[in-house]
A and B are shown apart, each in its own frame.
Chain A
Amino acid sequence: MANRGNQAGTATAAAGGAAQRPNGATQGKICQFKLVLLGESAVGKSSLVLRFVKGQFHEYQESTIGAAFLTQTVCLDDTTVKFEIWDTAGQERYHSLAPMYYRGAQAAIVVYDITNQDTFGRAKVWVKELQRQASPNIVIALAGNKADLAAKRAVEFDEAKGYAEENGLLFMETSAKTAMNVNDIFLAIAKKLPKNDGAGGVGGSSGQGRRLDRAEDGNKPASSCCK
């Protein structure tokens, strides 16, 4: 729960307490993971990501026009984990479109606002849906955002913690404003992700999704013809 106040702009800084390595070093494995952000609108999904990726909160920079799709690399022991973060629209009316986003995602962060009980309820719905419909080994993290507003807290820490433990989720209360636990939650996800069968091996050849596995079946007639 260390309050990491650094402006984690670079990958190495984001790696935090984990074994660090210069950013350019590639002798380790490179794993690329798709991470979706789910949660009611205005719980601070994009603030959380902007804090993680750019070290920003609120301060608007010209380069940060789009906060919907961002990537960030963290180093973990000898592995470089590249997160590809897909933000989703949180409005209720777009809820039904969510499966398109989390299809093929290896990780998901479900965000709620600790000052709003409704967002926690929605988060539970998301979690249930992910467990039912997303890929079976998806890593799900629950993030109670706006922890800096603990005075207005509506969702108790223990309640959320208990729920997370029941459902096997990673759980942290975060604050995009103070940067509390922001890097930690991403690092925790990176640690929990399987590194050997992740998309993208050494050399970063484009990830081969499940699409290929299906193509494998129709392999025989094609291979007989070529050459």
Chain B
Amino acid sequence: MESGGSRSSRSGHGPKLHIPQSDLICKTGCGFFGNIAWQGYCSKCYKEYFLQRQQHQAAFVPSPVERSQSDASTFFNKPESHSSTLPRHGFSRFEEKKRHNQEMRTTAVKSLFRKTPTKGLGSPKSKDKRALSPESHSAIIELDQFLQTLPQNAAHHAYSFLRMQAQKLDGLVSSGVLTPLEISDRVHNIYQVFDEKLKTHSDMTNSSMESLLDHSERYLTRLLYKKLFCPHTCDDEERDLAVQKRIRSLNWISAPLLDCRINELDSKVRDILEKAITHLIEMDGQRAPQDKLASIINCSKLVFEMLGFSQPVSADDFLPALIYVVLRANPPRIHSNLNFITRFAAPGRLLQGEGGYYFTNLCCAVSFLENLTSDSLGLSSEEFDRYMSGKSIPFASLQAGVMVSEGLRLMYQNMSTLSELKHKQTNLQQQILELKSDMEIFNECVGKEVVECLQQFPVQIRGKRAPIKPDEVQPNESDTLKLLPPPLLPHKISAESALPPLVDSISSNLEHLVPDVAAAAPVGRRVVAATDNLLDGSIQELDLLALNELSISCSSSGEPNTLLLETTTDDDPFSSLSLTVQGRIIPCIPCENISPTGQQLPPSN
């Protein structure tokens, strides 16, 4: 004890990153390195020292509260800050710690149940609170919270029953007279009796009853986890170690040996594999059987995901993959965990349902690995022995990066990536060549077709024409120009001159009406002024304005004109008359854009 004190004075105050070399050597001077957690002794010397001190202090038994304090603080505080009067159990032998924990728990649980339920289970004022692990504590709080959602009567009943049973079970388990199977039977018994009791409560719905059963299972197992999990009376722990060792010795097994189509070099697959492994390892951290099952289900789902890129995954693929995941994960205390679930999960949970199926698969996987022989891998026994003894490693495993260091695995991965890239590169090059030849062929084809087309339809190259300016073109220069009507010109009308057909008819009428005037019609552009011989002059005029004026003048003319005027003034004079002259108007559209051949020329500015 003094040595502990001197140690802390030497190493200075508070946490320090740098520790002098002399502090690292075991204080007894045995030559091995010591450890702060062992008060500066090496493990062997500390053991001796510890036993010695125990004998000295046989009379002194610390109270559970003090113990729990020391237990908790050894992990979280620096040992130096501790007073050296408290024994340090944190890193002492596992068995020792377990025993201490148990004593502590017994007192804690018993004192807990002395409380009345009305106080609230998780009230922080309890002085025993420190004695409970956070897990057990939260188990109580969770049950408390759930019970508050139930009818009061049922909740009270359920609580007092569970409390009683937990207490009784705790006593029985602590006494250590029961075999694991007996404990399991008792727990199942509790579930069943509880179920029957619940059925007497008519105010409970089926679903709330289900979840109450679920909660009771969770409560009991979490509260008494330390005692129910891997009890002393069985050899679970040894088997855990055996399985772990076995799996470690099988680490040379690669996926193909198991008929398993996991391609570990695919980074996507490896990511999922790692997640699955995490879930499987996490199972050990869960306490309630249903939480452990949930971890298994999560792991299994990831296994499906890992395999199911191309097709639905059947058990033929799933089981080998799960075995492989177990092999890679080497989950801690797997045997104890499986046993715990088997013993304490509610009835029906394991023989049915998704959880049951995946749990069965996991059991199968572990059992397969435990009983694995050379036959089950399709290897000869010499080969198998050689691999088991580590004398050689299957080449496939080496390739798959199973048994190699991280660096080597990375190298293999990079090599595969590189080869993939190279493959892609080659492909690309090939495709480039293909494209090139395609383009050449295309080029040839087009050329050929063009030549063919040219042969079929020879091109007649015409001489370049001078741009034609319609204004300058003489009427007799081009034949096509003759198709166009002649430009409008004021007509001189003589008696003999031929009029356009419609105008002709009108004029003939007019002539008929007023023959003498028509005959002597003078020609003038502005006819308005010529009111005396208006009829004649205006008919000659093709200008609309003139025609309009004509109609006006007609309306103002005398009796003999009535017949004609009725026909022209019925409607708008334009509509009737413009029709008659339309043939003459259209050609007046400016025709700069029209080539002499009648084709449209592109705008030439």
Contacts of B319 in A (CB 8 A): 88-89, 94, 97
**B-side interface residues toward A, CB under 8 Å?**
160-161, 164-165, 168, 182, 185-186, 188-193, 206, 209-210, 213, 259, 300-301, 304-305, 308, 310-316, 318-320, 346-349, 351-354, 357-358, 360-361, 363-364, 367-368, 371, 375-378
Total A residues in contact with B, Cβ cutoff 8 Å: 51
Sample of 22 A–B contacts (CB below 8 Å): A34-B352, A64-B312, A66-B312, A69-B354, A86-B360, A87-B315, A87-B316, A93-B376, A97-B319, A97-B367, A103-B351, A104-B351, A104-B352, A199-B348, A204-B206, A206-B347, A207-B351, A209-B347, A215-B192, A215-B347, A216-B192, A225-B168
Select A211's contact among B259, B347, B378, beta carbons within 8 Å: B347
Select B189's contact among A86, A103, A204, A222, beta carbons within 8 Å: A222
Contacts of A208 in B (CB 8 A): 347-348
Complex: how many Å from CA A91 to CA B304?
18
Interface residues of A in 13-39 (CB under 8 A from B): 32, 34, 37
Q: What's the dominant secondary structure at chain A's contact region?
A: mixed
Contacts of B368 in A (CB 8 A): 94, 97
Contacts of B354 in A (CB 8 A): 69
For A91, A97, A212, which residue has the most chain B Cβ atoms within 10 angstroms?
A97
Complex: how many Å from CA A206 to CA B165?
22
**Contact across chains for A226 and B186 when beta carbons are under 8 A apart:** no
Q: How many A-B residue pairs have CB under 8 A?
A: 150
Select A222's contact among B193, B314, B318, beta carbons within 8 Å: B193
**Contact across chains for A100 and B352 when beta carbons are under 8 A apart:** no
Complex: how many Å from CA A93 to CA B376?
5
**A-side interface residues toward B, CB under 8 Å?**
32, 34, 37, 41-42, 45-46, 50, 60, 64-69, 84, 86-91, 93-94, 96-97, 100-101, 103-104, 199, 203-209, 211-212, 214-219, 222-223, 225-227
Contacts of A223 in B (CB 8 A): 193
**Contact across chains for B348 and A90 when beta carbons are under 8 A apart:** no
**Contact across chains for A50 and B312 when beta carbons are under 8 A apart:** yes
Complex: how many Å from CA A21 to CA B316?
35
Contacts of B352 in A (CB 8 A): 32, 34, 84, 104, 199, 206-207, 209
Contacts of A227 in B (CB 8 A): 160-161, 164
Given known contacts A69-B358, A97-B364, what 7 new A-B pairs fall within 8 Å (CB)?
A67-B314, A69-B354, A205-B206, A209-B347, A215-B347, A218-B182, A219-B193
**Contact across chains for B314 and A69 when beta carbons are under 8 A apart:** no
Known interface pairs A68-B314, A68-B315; A84-B353 also in contact (CB < 8 Å): yes
Complex: how many Å from CA A66 to CA B164?
43
**Contact across chains for A89 and B347 when beta carbons are under 8 A apart:** no
